[in-house]
Amino acid sequence: MSDDKNIVIAFGDRQMMPAVTGGSLVADVKSIIEQGKCQAYMSVNAAMIETYWHIGRRIVEEEQQGQKRAKYGAQIINFLSTELTAEYGRGYGKRNLAYYRQFYLEFNDLTILHEFVQNLNWTHFRALLRVNDFQARAWYMRQAAEQMWSTTTLERNINTQYYHRLLMSQHFHF
């Protein structure tokens, strides 16, 4: 059947002719499916980022009693890594658990994090963790969310110190 032919739907001895042509119907349904997939991805992404944040909070607030580094922090990460990797896989190895802890320490206000989480994924946040300057990190996070930067674009902008170059160019224009 050609895409430009009308679709006839039969209900008992009645027939209904949709107002849309086959091509439009297919395009509309494909669009609905893609929107649903995108919403599902964003929901899963937001849930995973919040999960990582809560893991980091648990490590910092419970095992480290709110301190940035505990004397026995490495042992806790090793222990958790062994236990969690056995059950949940590589995503809970030592390196990732250290990232989750750092993630909580650097982004400890979950309400602010929720503002940006819709457009940013875990790879974005890992790149942002490398930015030591709080103001620069906040600027990169805001720009990445608003401009819908890919992780590649965010990493390139961080690596080329885009924020600092922008400040310098504004400074020299006054």
* Distance in angstroms (rounded) separating the CA atoms of residues 172 and 80: 50
Instruction: Identify the segments of the chain with pLDDT beneath 70.
Output: 1-22, 62, 64, 66-74, 171-174
**What are 171's two structure tokens?**
């400074």
Whether 43 is covered by a domain: the verdict is yes
Residue pLDDT, tens place only, 39-79: 998 899 889 999 999 999 998 876 767 556 666 656 888 89
Calpha distance 154→156 (Å, rounded): 5
Global pTM reads 0.74
My answer on whether 96 and 127 are in the same domain is: no
Indicate whether 38 belongs to any domain.
yes
Does 9 fall in a domain?
no
Structure tokens at 75: 């042992």
How many domains is the chain built from? Answer: 2
Task: Let me know whether 40 and 89 are in one domain.
Answer: yes
31 and 95 together in one domain: yes
Beta bridge partners of 82: none
pLDDT at 72: 60
Same domain, 69 and 101: yes
